[in-house]
Structure 1
Amino acid sequence: MLQLTNVTVTSPSKVILDQLSLTVSAGEAVGIVGESGSGKTTILKLLLGLPLNDLVFTEGSISYRDQPINPQKKRVSYPFVGTEVAWISQQSSLGFNNNRKIKHHYEDLVKSHQSRVDEMRSLEDCLQMVGLDQLQIPSKYPLELSGGMMQRVAIALALASHPKFLLADEPTSALDVLSKESLIETLKKLRLTDHLTLLFVTHDMSVAKELADRVLVMKEGKIVEEGSRDHIFQNPQHSYTQKLLRAIPKLKL
């Protein structure tokens, strides 16, 4: 479904992605883990057509359903983004207009899908999926909601179009423990009911353990270890993977 082959991206001062290759099959959930600055988010920028700014795509190939992706410095409009492919940003609240109610953001989203309007989930259904009040939230302005609630609103809107492929950048970072657990269960359910394919990046190893079928461990632009969830969490081979696992907080009672 998705394939990156020998992808290299550089900044003026360093290599961001170094000969990186990965594949994601239909229906699979792949988690990319690693510390900040390892290159995780740059992968999503390439796939979404977001501006690369001072970064340069220097080598490699990317394709989605055998359709080539050609990253550029300026924003690129890929026809599958926003329809078949949806995404969740780490700072989703920045994409909202504080002068417009949540229901108006949903209406704008529906209008943008034009011929697919009849296929969209209702706002009430979307909010219910992420555990938000279906009666009160639509009439709220973004500034009236907490950061965690706005993250869940963004996730709800991302699910409105029945996406087949969901890209997520630290989707749980703004959520409290209970909201995080609820989102993880929602995504697990969608994988079964909608055959959702998932590619997400996170520094939270517990999220990867709950959601991923396969885990890629990144360090300094390279994938240093790759394997099934059980392999990574039960029998890690690379010293960096072992370091990440040792850093998982232990609950003290």
Structure 2
Amino acid sequence: MDRNGLADFLRRRRARLAPADVGLAEGARRRTPGLRREEVARLTGMSADYYTRLEQSRGSRPSRQMLSALARALRLSDDERDHLFHLVGEEPPRAPHGPVGHVRPGLLLVLDRLYDAPAQVMSDWGEVLAQNAMADALAGEWWPGRNIIRQWFTDPPVRELFPPEDREQHARMHAAQLRAVLASRPDDPGPAGLVAELLAGSAEFADLWERHEVAVRRASVKRFVHPVVGLLELDCEVLIGADRGQLLIVHSARPGTESYERLRLLRVVGLQSMTS
């Protein structure tokens, strides 16, 4: 592991980004250009102390998952992401059976411009690849690197984000989406492994799988229960990337509705969380 090279690369890539480039508020005047260390740490889900040690050539070897999170947070190109992995002595991620999990900078740019709408980039089998600050404020449990289908069937508290009467439909949708993806890419180890894991660990999933329902994720209306702003009824748009394996999910509220006002309040709540 090239600690000095890694530290220099991280510092330089952090310095070239403005808060607006990653969907953050500018805040107080900055003495130096670029993001603050704690902002990069929050975008990656690591502690500020650990990230600081990486930039000071003192950090322990980052995991592959953490390297992918850094690549997303720093908006690295494919070549820059590969260089990041090489600095740590790791082979860059490859995806022979499906789309690469690294989100293209252009798609991240679109995500960051959606400052007033919760939005995520996801794989078609539920992997959260990136999400903006509004998505953090709405559903903070689903950090990049996690799989929403796995969490749904193995971590019941995440269901509290949705009204009880909507949860059965969400469960059916998750199983049907995974069925469609597995049929289209039966040799892809990602979705195949997730199906095997859930069949072994979730009786509910196994029952839904037996129904053989098939559906792909499309535009819909979803209801969310937020602990601060209350019930939100949001239009969910699904935009498919060029490789068809990455989805940009955008949630919006219709102007003039109560949900529209609550979504505006959610942005204030989210900004307060980012600066607290």
Q: What's the TM-score once normalised by structure 1's chain length?
A: 0.29
Structure having the larger proportion of residues in helix: 2
TM-score, normalisation: structure 2: 0.27
Greater strand content? 1
